Amino acid sequence: HRHLLGIEPLRPDEITTLLDLADQYAALNRRRDKHAQALAGLTQINMFFENSTRTQASFELAGKRLGADVMNMSMQASSIKKGETLIDTALTLNAMHPDLLVVRHPHSGAVDLLAQKVHCAVLNAGDGRHEHPTQALLDALTIRRAKGRLHRLTIAICGDVAHSRVARSNLLLLHKMENRIRLVGPATLMPAGIDEFGAEVYQDMREGLKDADVVMMLRLQKERMDGGFIPSEREYYHRYGLDAEKLSFAKDDAIVMHPGPMNRGVEIDGTIADDINRSVIQDQVEMGVAVRMAAMDLLSRNLRARPTEVVT
């Protein structure tokens, strides 16, 4: 692949190859000297048109640990604010010969469009409600390390599925790897036609969590509920917030996940989020760096395989 725009085009064996490499980078990241040379001589530009803590920080660290020259564009201070279009911005940066462009954008499809206009490899760091592929890959690695496998698990994805690119990418990946997927949440927060992805849909959280191996919570994304139904936080927590009582319906060794940022007391009880016997939320963050190192390493191998342009 030239780009990483989504989980959709990836084959199961390609996902496994990436996770195997990420496992090696996870070991490197626990050493004092964390440097490798996979991206030496390459230039990585991070363009985040939407807020981010985890994704931006981990892409930056991943690039630096692999020896790339990393530049973080401050989109707040860029000429986008003066009316320059996304495509003009992309063409401008393309003229500076980057090798890897990491892009987050509030509109679904914006990153795909941008990828068609530039010569470098593009990594989707989240586009609207569409995809967040590196999030699904880091979630997959976290599950595989905690459970010892990434197939034939019962995985409950709970909450605001309708507005979640994290849910969409996870659904695609976990389905490809032959897991049983349950989507749990109010009908108002389920996208139309979701059953075509091969998931079971539950409105009752206790039923949805019954005997689950993995409980993946999602953030209530009020910023994407443009004019639509917004549930009250109290009511939502009562019915869909993960607390000890609801979690008791899952398997005794079920793990609890959340991509962050978390709304404690809305979709998850703070005590559950901090329970190191159940919660793998910090492992997800750790695996985020490793997975992004692996993704950029693999894309850079394709870049290096292409004929070098002669600069005169």
Q: Which residues bind ligand CP (CB under 6 A)?
A: 52-55, 126, 135, 259-261
Contact at 8 Å (CB) between 175 and 181? Answer: yes
31 is in an annotated binding site: no
Q: Write the CB contacts of 261 (distance below 8 Å, at least 6 apart in sequence).
A: 53, 54, 219
Handedness of CA 285, 252, 245, 171 (dihedral sign): positive
Please, is 193 exposed, middle or buried when counting C-beta atoms within 10 Å of its C-beta (0-12, 13-18, 19+)? exposed
CB 301 within 8 A of CB 24: no
Nearest approach, Cβ of 76 to ligand CP (angstroms)?
A: 16
User: What is the nearest approach in angstroms of ligand CP to the Cβ of residue 187?
Assistant: 25
Asked if residue 147 belongs to a known ligand binding site, the reply is no
Residue 104 labelled as part of a binding site: yes
Task: Name the minimum Å distance from CB 274 to ligand CP.
Answer: 18
Annotated ligand binding at 165? The verdict is yes
Q: Would the annotation count 135 as a binding residue? A: yes
Q: Are 280 and 256 in contact (CB under 8 A)?
A: yes
Q: Which is nearer to ligand CP, 185 or 259 (CB)?
A: 259
Amino acid at 207: E
Q: Which is nearer to ligand CP, 208 or 259 (CB)?
A: 259
- Of the pair 119, 145, the CB lying nearest ligand CP is at 145
Task: Note whether 123 and 103 are within 8 A (CB).
Answer: yes
Annotated binding site for L-aspartate: 82, 165, 219
Annotated binding site for carbamoyl phosphate: 54-55, 104, 132, 135, 260-261
Annotated binding site: 54-55, 82, 104, 132, 135, 165, 219, 260-261
